[in-house]
Structure 1
Amino acid sequence: MPEVPPGPVRRDPDVEAALRAAVVADVAWTVEGRPRVHGVLPLVGPDGPVLALPWSELETARSLAAAGRVLLCLSEPQGAGRAWRPLGVRARTRLEEDPEGDVFTATLLEQELLRWPPSRLLADSVLLRREHWWWLPRLLVHLEVLDDSPLGARESREDQLLVVAGDGAGGWPEATVTGPAGALRGPAPAPGPALLLGQELSWPDLERWGRWSWQGRWDGAQLQVEQAPGSTGLPPVPGLLRRWRRHRALERACRAGLAAAPPATPRVTGP
């Protein structure tokens, strides 16, 4: 596990306001020298910024905790509030496992319901929360903000987020947004293993979130592609049967994640 120098917890009201105003964000980290990126809903709890992942994403949450250092990227302006601004936020991670969902329900659920319509279908009433009890337990990845820097904003579907792994297995990832013809909207990252991420969301329901990426090596000027996506763009509008199957798959994945954790009070792990 990479060692991260200790330091005071930084509560920046402007950064937290931008996170509250965002609809979605991307969290980037490095695993064995390669960049990984995951789409998240950034929340702000009593202790600062936090990612509240469902137990279907147990592997991702524990990988974020093991990395110890992440780059949270705000680059999607669509649907965001007035306080939003494009940012790259470097942070340390601390994982709190909340298998009963008590912490999430008390401090973060209302914020998620206000900003993420798909969650309303599962937890917008007492009856729904009782039926979908497996949705309330969460893996809370707390973020201790170290610093932030400007980041380009996606202005169209053709814009992508370029993420380059830092030096060595524990290096900080770097990110910038690319526009038409690959033009950078910010300083060029140093060469290294890289990932070029595109995305598109359906508005305003946010039912569909298409994400695709090219993987390879950034040479300082362009990406040498080693793996291309099979498809790009939004997934098709699901029918009733597909929605039911997707719902059942999510329930099974959340239940499986919870089964991997012994019953206990919330546990905190991290570097």
Structure 2
Amino acid sequence: MRCTSQKRTNVNDLATAWRGSSAGELCWLTADGPAAVPVVPLFVDQPCVALPLAHLPEIDSLPDRAAFCVSAPTGPEGPTLVATGTISVSLDPRGTEFGGDLVEQEVLKHPPSRLRVGSLMARKENWWWMARALVRLTGVDGVRGLPARTRAEDAVLVRERDSDVRVDVVTARDWTAGPGRDVELWPRDGGDLAGRDERALVMGHHASPDFERWERWTRTGTLVGQTLRVTGADGGPDPDPRPYRLLERLRNHREVERACRAGVAAVERRLGR
């Protein structure tokens, strides 16, 4: 990972936070506006994530820069921060690269992966979950602390600032506003968002204890000062997401499998296989 000596301490903080967290966020800018997905933090020489190919549309929109965030602490002293820099993206439809140390890390951190690919037999049966896009943070240009997301109403705010992706942690009294309405945002660090009518994405995510249910909610729009003028809304905060019941779990598994298989098929067609 490229970094200057002045950044070494912050980069070490990033490595500590990324290695120690079971969930984080990958944020970036696209031609259609800011984007973000919840991720399982992995680390081999550098911070990375291994996105299932169900996320192929998001993978295709990744530019050469992104932000790797840890916004929810893993413990009372857990660091929360964001690192921005250059990234590389490699498609691994057969799970060759993912099938080494990365899958072992994910199995330890992510219970659904423990069920799907926790053994060699499971990896063969659920081959579609081994197919990934590996996103690596190849160069770090900046690391800064973030206030922690500690409540269901807390979320990351993603936007462009100074020609790069900017991430803050915000909250609001009420997230029920839909398109055509406004939401007043409160930065958790007490600062001033100073929105300039730029496009913005607010994303929160929550999981049941077994992580089978890991859902994100979003608000999109433009940010003026501290106010988000909402143009799109999907979902909302859930302070206590319950685990799936048996039939719900089976349905979710089938949906995930179907989406992953479709992503694998699309990548294989591109590669002429």
Q: The TM-score by the shorter chain falls in which range?
A: 0.7 to 0.9
Report how many aligned residue pairs link the two structures.
249
- CA RMSD, 1 decimal: 2.5
The offset of 1:120, in angstroms, is 0.6
Q: Is the 8 Å Cα contact of residues 21 and 82 (structure 1) preserved in structure 2?
A: no
Distance (Å, rounded) in 1 between the aligned partners of 2:150 and 2:237 = 17
User: What SS does structure 2 have at the residue aligned with 1:103?
Assistant: coil
The offset of 1:112, in angstroms, is 0.5
The equivalent position to 2:51 in structure 1, one of 47, 50, 53, is 53
Q: Is the 8 Å Cα contact of residues 21 and 83 (structure 1) preserved in structure 2?
A: no
Q: Is the 8 Å Cα contact of residues 28 and 34 (structure 2) preserved in structure 1?
A: yes
Deviations along 1:95-117, one digit per CA (max 9) or x if unpaired, are 11112212111120111111111
Distance (Å, rounded) in 2 between the aligned partners of 1:83 and 1:108 = 26
Identify the residue that residue 16 of structure 1 maps to in structure 2. 15
- Greater strand share, structure number: 2
TM-score, L = length of structure 1: 0.82
1:152 aligns with 2:147: yes
User: What SS does structure 2 have at the residue aligned with 1:113?
Assistant: helix
The offset of 1:188, in angstroms, is 3.2
* Paired AA for residue 228 in structure 1: A
Identify the residue that residue 136 of structure 1 maps to in structure 2. 130
TM-score, L = length of structure 2: 0.82
Distance (Å, rounded) in 1 between the aligned partners of 2:107 and 2:76 = 19
The offset of 1:235, in angstroms, is 5.8
Deviations along 1:189-242, one digit per CA (max 9) or x if unpaired, are 442111222322222x12212321222111122222223335542666433222
Q: Is the 8 Å Cα contact of residues 88 and 135 (structure 2) preserved in structure 1?
A: yes
Give the direction of change, closer, same or farther, for the CA distance of 1:39–1:104 in structure 2 (3 Å limit).
same
Structure 1 range deviating more: 53-62 or 82-91: 82-91
Distance (Å, rounded) in 2 between the aligned partners of 1:37 and 1:264 = 25
Give the direction of change, closer, same or farther, for the CA distance of 1:96–1:81 in structure 2 (3 Å limit).
farther
Distance (Å, rounded) in 1 between the aligned partners of 2:234 and 2:252 = 22
Q: Which runs of 5+ in 2 are unaligned?
A: 174-184
Identify the residue that residue 218 of structure 1 maps to in structure 2. 223
Deviations along 1:44-67, one digit per CA (max 9) or x if unpaired, are 113x11110112112222211xx2
Structure 1 range deviating more: 105-114 or 155-164: 155-164
Give the direction of change, closer, same or farther, for the CA distance of 1:130–1:162 in structure 2 (3 Å limit).
same
Give the direction of change, closer, same or farther, for the CA distance of 1:50–1:108 in structure 2 (3 Å limit).
same
Equivalent residues in 2 for 1:73-152, closer than 5 Å: 73-77=69-73, 80=74, 84-144=78-138, 145-152=140-147
Q: Which runs of 5+ in 1 are unaligned?
A: 1-7, 266-271
Identify the residue that residue 193 of structure 1 maps to in structure 2. 199
Distance (Å, rounded) in 1 between the aligned partners of 2:32 and 2:94 = 34
* Paired AA for residue 111 in structure 1: Q
Distance (Å, rounded) in 2 between the aligned partners of 1:107 and 1:263 = 28
Q: Is the 8 Å Cα contact of residues 176 and 188 (structure 1) preserved in structure 2?
A: no
Identify the residue that residue 5 of structure 1 maps to in structure 2. none
* Paired AA for residue 251 in structure 2: R
Distance (Å, rounded) in 2 between the aligned partners of 1:33 and 1:165 = 12
1:260 aligns with 2:253: no
Identify the residue that residue 165 of structure 2 maps to in structure 1. 173
User: What SS does structure 2 have at the residue aligned with 1:61?
Assistant: helix
In percent, how many aligned pairs have the same letter?
36
The offset of 1:175, in angstroms, is 1.8
Q: Is the 8 Å Cα contact of residues 38 and 205 (structure 2) preserved in structure 1?
A: no
The equivalent position to 2:250 in structure 1, one of 230, 244, 249, is 244
Identify the residue that residue 177 of structure 2 maps to in structure 1. none
- Greater relative contact order (Cα < 8 A, sep 6+): 1
User: What SS does structure 2 have at the residue aligned with 1:245?
Assistant: helix
Distance (Å, rounded) in 1 between the aligned partners of 2:134 and 2:235 = 32
* Paired AA for residue 2 in structure 2: V
